[in-house]
Amino acid sequence: MKNVTIVLDERTAAWPRVQAAKRNLRVSHFVGEILHNQMTDARTCDEAMRHDLSEAPLVFDWVGGRRPAREDLHHRDALRRY
């Protein structure tokens, strides 16, 4: 374990004290958990993004070899029955 000193104003420092007490933890362990969770979430997000970007782009096969018109894609006459 590595010791780190952080400086917080009194109002900001009050929140981790209360939250740590609710979880029966020391403030240092509570702050360590928060940082660990943030680090893990960031790594998971980065890995997911790298995975998605490594895949080949999706290629659409257009029906009849042509792109549909916007009106065809957004045909809403069935919704306009009023």
Q: Where do the domains of the chain lie?
A: 1-57
**Overall average pLDDT of the 26-45 stretch:** 94
**Under 8 Å between Cβ of 62 and 68:** yes
pLDDT confidence tier of residue 78, bands split at 50, 70 and 90: low
Burial 58-82 (b: 16+ CB within 10 A, else e): eeeeeeeeeeeeeeeeeeeeeeeee
On whether the pTM is more than 0.85, the answer is no
Q: Identify which of 35, 5, 30, 3 has the alpha carbon closest to the alpha carbon of residue 16.
A: 30
8-12, 52-56, 66-70, range with the lowest pLDDT: 66-70
Q: Which SS3 state, helix, strand or coil, does residue 76 take? A: coil
pLDDT above 60 (res 27): yes
